[in-house]
Structure 1
Amino acid sequence: MTEARLRRARRALALSFLAQGTAFALLVTRVPAVQQQYGIPDAHLPVHLAGVPLLAGLGSVATGALVTRVPARTVLRWAQPVVLLALAGIGVGGRAWQLGVALGVFGLAAGALDASMNMLGVSLQREYGRSIVLGLHAAYSLGGIAGAGLAWGGARLGLPLDRFYPPLVLPLLAVVLLAGHRYGDRRIGGTQPGTPLRTPSGTPSRTPPSTPSGAPPRAGGGRRPAGRALLPLCLVAAFAYVGDATVSHWSATYLRDVLGGSEAFATLPYSAYMATTLLGRAVGDLVVRRYGAVAVVRGGALLASGGFAAVAAAPGPWTGLAGFAVLGLGLSVIVPQTFAAAGRHATAAGHGPPAADAAVARLNASTYAGLLVGAPLVGALGEAWSPRWAMAVPLVLVLAALPYAGSFAGRTDRYGGGHERPRTVDVG
C-alpha cells in the first residue's frame, strides 16, 4: 500500500475513534437525564449501567471469533452505525424494557466496535512501521471532550433526550459511513496473501495466506499468541481501567465531599483528566518512537500512581484537581500500548495478523473487566473504610503494572532507540 493510501486509512480510522469517543461521552454524561426519562430508581440504576460493559466484553470476545471469518474492517463498518442508532434509540424510548434493549444493543455493538477499531489500528501501525496507535486513541479522547461539551450544552438548554440524541446521531452516522469507505481497503485489517512486508532489518517477509474471501486465515496454531505472553498485558489494561473508572465515577464526589470543593468546582477534575489524557496521547507516539514502549509505560505508571497519591493526600480541592490532571497524563499512554504490544508479540512469533486480532479482542475484554470492577470496588471501600484510603486501591494496581513493563518490548518490531522503521514502508 502506498504511503498516501496509508495516510487516508489512518485519517478514516481516526474519525471512527473520534465518533465513538463522542457517542460514549454523550451516553455517560447524560445518565441523570436517562434515569429521569425512564423513571429508573436509584437502586436499579447500577444494574442498567453495569450491563453495558458486561455486554461490551461479550461483544469483544465474540468479535475475536468473528474476525476469523469476516475481516475486522467489515465488523467495524457494521458495528459503528449500530452503536449510534442504539444511542438514538435510548433518546426516543420511554419504558424500562426499551431502555434495557437499547443499552444491550449499545453494549454488544460497542464491544465489537472497540475491538475491531483497535484491530485495525494495530494492523495499520504494523504497516506504518512506527508508533501511531496513541494518536488514534487521542482522537477518541478528543471525541470524549466534544461529547461531554455537547451534553453540557444540551443540559443547559434543557433539551429532552428525544430532541438531543437523534440530531447529533445523524451527522455522526454520515461521518462513519464516509470513513468506512476509506479504511475499506482489503489490506487493512488482514494483509493480502503473499504481500511482502519490510522488517526492521529491511528484509521482506511473507504474511500467512488468507482465505479466498479475503478474510484472515483460519489455519490452526496461528490465531492467538501464547496466553503467557498476553496475560501480563491483560492485567495491565485492567489495572489502568480500574484507575479510569475511579476518576470517571468518583472524582466529582471526592472533590466535593472529601476535599470541600463547590458543586461547580467538582465538575473540573474529570475535564482536567480528559484534557491531559488527550495531551498525553497526542504526543505519546513521538515519545514512544524516541524512548520505546517500555520506558513510556513505566513513566505512565509512575505518573499515574503519583497522581493518585496526590489525590489521596490532598489538603484541598486545588491539589486534588492537580492530582487528577497528572493521573490523566499517566494513564493515557498505557492502554493503547497494550494493544500495540499484543500485536507485536503475535506477529513476531510468526502467527500473523489473525493472532494479533484475537489478542486485541481478548485485551479489549479485559478493559471492560476493569471498568466493571473498578468503580464499585472503590466505592464500596470508600463507604466501609475511607474515601482517601480507597484511592490506594487504584494506586497500588497502577504500581503493580511496573513489573510487567518488560512485556511491552517487541522482539522484532521495536520503536525508539534508533530502531524505528523507515517512514516509507514497502507493502506491495
Structure 2
Amino acid sequence: MADDSATAPTATYPAGLSRRQVIAWRNGILVIFALCGIGIASWMARTPAIKAELAVTTAEMGILIFAIALGSILGLLSSSHLLARFGARAVMATCFLIAPIGLAIAGLAVTFGQFYWVAFLGLGLFGVGMATCDVAMNLSGAVNERILRRTIMPVFHAFFSFGTMIGAGLGALTELLQVSIALQAVIVSTVMVIAGLAAVRMTQSETILHVPDESGEFVPDGWRTRLAIWKDPRTLFIGLIVLGMAFAEGSANDWLSLAAVEGHGVDRPTGAVVFGIFVTAMTVGRLTGPRVLDRYGRVPVLRASAALAALGLLVFIFVPVLWIAVVGVVLWGLGSALGFPTGMSAAADDPRTAAARVSAVATIGYCAFLVGPPLIGFLGEHFGLLHALLLVLVLIVVAGVASGSARDRTKTPSA
C-alpha cells in the first residue's frame, strides 16, 4: 500500500488527522462495542446459577434483572448532558470504570453472603454505565463514520453481536467449570477496565466535526437546546425506525427460542439452534450492510429491511412447516440487522445536535428492550407467543413507513 502522506493532502481528514489515527479510532470503537456485548452476555448467561445462589423466586429474579433496566433509563436520560459537558471520550472512559465496578459488586454480592439488594444496586450501576457508554460509543462511531466517508456503523453493531457470542460462551464455560459468579464477574470486569480504557485512548473527540458560528467560534448547545431536540419531528421519526427495528431484534432475543418450542413443537435444544440462526443472520446482515447502504442509500435499504423482517415474521408465525419457518427466521434476522445502527448514523448527521439527537433516539429505541419483553409475555399468556409477535410486525411496518426521515442530510441531491 502506498504511503498516504505522499498521495493525499493533509486536509483529507478534519483537524489534520492522519489515516492511521482515523483507523485507530475505528478499531477502538470496534473493541468498545465488543466489550459491552461481552459484559452484558457474560452476566445474563449465568442467570440460572445466580437464581440458585441467591435462592430467590422467578419474580424476585425478574426484579433483580430490572435493576439493569432501571440503571439504563437513568444513563440514557443523562447521557446527552454528560456528553455536552465532558465529551464522548471522557464519558466512555468513566463508563469503563463505573460499569465494571457495578458488575463486580453484583458478582461478589451473589457469591459472598447472598446480599440481594447489594446485587441490585451493583446491577443498577452496571446499567447506568452500559447505557451511557452505548450513547457515547454510537456518537463517536457515527462521527468516525462521517470522517471515513463510508458506512461503518453496522459493523460496529456486528462487533457487539460478536461480543454477546463471546460473553455467552464464557458464561457457558464458567458454568461447566463451576467457576463462582464472583470470580467470573471480577475477571470480566478487570478485562473491561483494561481493554476499555486502552480502546478509548484510540478514539478522537467528536467535536472535530463541529461547525463554528459566524464569529468562527463553536458555541456549545445549552440544556434547553438539548431538550428541544425532542420536539423535532425528525428526531421522533428516526426514533420510530430504531424503536421498530429494536423491537424486532429484542423480541427474538427474549422469545424466539420459546416461541419455536411452544409454537412449532420443537425441543429446547432445537429452539436454541433456531435462535442461533437468527443471531447469525443478523450478524451477517450487519457485516454486509455497509456495502449495501453505500450503494443504495439509507431509505431504500431501510424500507427493504422492514419488508424483509415483516415477511420473515409472517412466515415464522403462520407457516407450520419447520424448515420454512426457519427460512422466515433468517429473513427476520437479515431484516432486523440495519435498523438500529442506521438510525444512529442518521441521528448524528448534524454535528451541532448529534449528541442530543443520538441520546434521544437511543432512549426511544431502548423502550423496545425495556417494555418489549413483559408486553409480549403478557400478550403471549393470553393469545399464545406466536400471535403475540404480531405486535412486533406492526412496529416493523411503522419503522418502514418512517424510513424517509433517515435520508442523509449531509449529501447534495445529486450525490
**SS of aligned partner of 1:40:** coil
Cα drift, residue 91 of structure 1:
1.7
Paired position in structure 2 for 1:324: 329
| TM-aligned CA distance change 1:228 to 1:386, over 3 Å | same
Query: How many angstroms apart in 1 are the aligned matches of 2:125 and 2:401?
Result: 38
Question: Of residues 125, 129, 136 in structure 2, which corresponds to 1:109?
Answer: 129
Question: Of residues 204, 207, 227 in structure 2, which corresponds to 1:190?
Answer: 207
Deviations 1:125-160 (A, max 9, x none): 222222111111111111111111222222233332
Question: Of residues 315, 318, 334 in structure 2, which corresponds to 1:313?
Answer: 318
| TM-aligned CA distance change 1:235 to 1:113, over 3 Å | same
Cα drift, residue 224 of structure 1:
5.9
| TM-aligned CA distance change 1:405 to 1:255, over 3 Å | same
| TM-aligned CA distance change 1:270 to 1:173, over 3 Å | farther
Q: Contact 1:60/1:364 (CA < 8 Å) preserved in 2?
A: yes
Question: Of residues 388, 402, 405 in structure 2, which corresponds to 1:407?
Answer: 405
The letter of the residue matching 2:217 is: P
Paired position in structure 2 for 1:92: 108
2:200 aligned with 1:180, yes or no? Answer: yes
Deviations 1:255-281 (A, max 9, x none): 222211112112112222221121111
Paired position in structure 2 for 1:293: 298
2:363 aligned with 1:383, yes or no? Answer: no
Deviations 1:151-184 (A, max 9, x none): 222223333212322223323322112112111x
**SS of aligned partner of 1:67:** helix
Identity percentage of aligned residues: 23
Query: How many angstroms apart in 1 are the aligned matches of 2:77 and 2:223?
Result: 19
Q: Contact 2:70/2:124 (CA < 8 Å) preserved in 1?
A: no
Question: Of residues 164, 168, 186 in structure 2, which corresponds to 1:148?
Answer: 168
| TM-aligned CA distance change 1:161 to 1:220, over 3 Å | closer
Cα drift, residue 407 of structure 1:
0.6
The letter of the residue matching 1:87 is: L
2:356 aligned with 1:358, yes or no? Answer: yes
Cα drift, residue 219 of structure 1:
9.1
Moved more, 170-179 or 311-320: 311-320
Paired position in structure 2 for 1:426: none
Query: How many angstroms apart in 2 are the aligned matches of 1:207 and 1:131?
Result: 32
Cα drift, residue 40 of structure 1:
2.3
2:48 aligned with 1:32, yes or no? Answer: yes
Cα drift, residue 385 of structure 1:
1.4
Paired position in structure 2 for 1:201: none
Paired position in structure 2 for 1:163: 183
Cα drift, residue 57 of structure 1:
2.3
| TM-aligned CA distance change 1:143 to 1:224, over 3 Å | farther
More relative contact order in 1 or in 2 (CA 8 Å, sep 6+)?
A: 1
Q: Contact 2:243/2:399 (CA < 8 Å) preserved in 1?
A: no
RMSD over aligned Cα, in angstroms?
Answer: 2.4
Q: Contact 1:134/1:336 (CA < 8 Å) preserved in 2?
A: yes
Paired position in structure 1 for 2:10: none
Cα drift, residue 62 of structure 1:
0.2
Paired position in structure 2 for 1:198: none
| TM-aligned CA distance change 1:218 to 1:167, over 3 Å | same
Question: Of residues 12, 21, 24 in structure 1, which corresponds to 2:28?
Answer: 12
Query: How many angstroms apart in 2 are the aligned matches of 1:316 and 1:83?
Result: 44
| TM-aligned CA distance change 1:391 to 1:223, over 3 Å | closer
Paired position in structure 1 for 2:8: none
Query: How many angstroms apart in 2 are the aligned matches of 1:207 and 1:51?
Result: 47
The letter of the residue matching 1:54 is: L
Deviations 1:344-373 (A, max 9, x none): 2xx2xxxx33x1100011111112211111
TM-score between both structures, scaled by the size of structure 1 = 0.86
More helix by percentage:
2
The 5-angstrom pairing of residues 415-426 of structure 1 reads: 419=415
* Alignment size in residue pairs: 394
**SS of aligned partner of 2:86:** coil
2:258 aligned with 1:260, yes or no? Answer: no
Query: How many angstroms apart in 2 are the aligned matches of 1:271 and 1:396?
Result: 24
Moved more, 107-116 or 87-96: 87-96
Q: Contact 1:273/1:327 (CA < 8 Å) preserved in 2?
A: yes
Cα drift, residue 384 of structure 1:
0.8
Query: How many angstroms apart in 1 are the aligned matches of 2:148 and 2:269?
Result: 44
**SS of aligned partner of 2:85:** coil
Query: How many angstroms apart in 2 are the aligned matches of 1:343 and 1:97?
Result: 38
Q: Contact 1:69/1:218 (CA < 8 Å) preserved in 2?
A: no
Q: Contact 1:233/1:404 (CA < 8 Å) preserved in 2?
A: yes
Moved more, 244-253 or 405-414: 405-414
